[in-house]
A and B are shown apart, each in its own frame.
Chain A
Amino acid sequence: MFEITPLHYSLLSAALFMIGVIGVLVRRNIIIIFMSIELILNAVNINLVALSSQLQDLSGQVFVVFVIAVAAAEAAVGLGIIIAFYRNKETVNIDEMQIMRW
Chain B
Amino acid sequence: MVEAFMFYLLATLILGLAVMVITARSAVHSVVFLVVNFLLVAVLYVMLSAEFVAVIQVLVYAGGIVVLYLFVVMLVNLKREPEQYTDPRRLGVLGTVLGGAVLAQLVGIAVYSSIRGSTVVDGAGLGSDTPFAVGNTEQLGWVLYTSYLIPFELASMLLLVAMIGAIVLAKQNL
Residues in A lying within 8 Å of B, measured CB to CB:
1-12, 14-23, 25-29, 31-32, 34-36, 38-39, 42, 45-46, 49-50, 52-59, 61-62, 64-66, 68-77, 79-84, 86-87, 90-93, 95-96
Q: How large is the interface on B (under 10, 10 to 19, 20 to 34, 35 or more residues)?
A: 35 or more
Q: Which residue of B lies closest to A8 (CB)?
A: B7
Q: For the complex, would chain A's binding face be called helix, strand, loop or mixed by DSSP majority? A: helix
B152, chain A: closest CB distance, angstroms: 8
CA distance A18 to B19 in the complex (A): 10
13 contacts between A and B (CB under 8 A): A5-B114, A17-B106, A18-B102, A28-B82, A42-B37, A49-B44, A53-B132, A55-B126, A61-B53, A62-B140, A68-B61, A80-B166, A86-B75
Within the assembled complex, what's the spacing in Å between the Cα atoms of A30 and B118? Answer: 41
Q: Which of B3, B41, B161, B167 has the most CB of A within 10 A?
A: B41
SS class of chain B's interface: helix, strand, loop or mixed? helix
Q: Are A54 and B165 in contact (CB under 8 A)?
A: no
Residue pair B3, A64 in contact (C-beta under 8 Å): no
A7 to B31 Cα, complex, angstroms: 29
When chains A and B are docked, how far (Å) is the Cα of A90 from the Cα of B77? 9
**Which residues in A have their C-beta under 8 angstroms from that of B107?**
11, 14
A57 to B130, CA, bound (A): 9
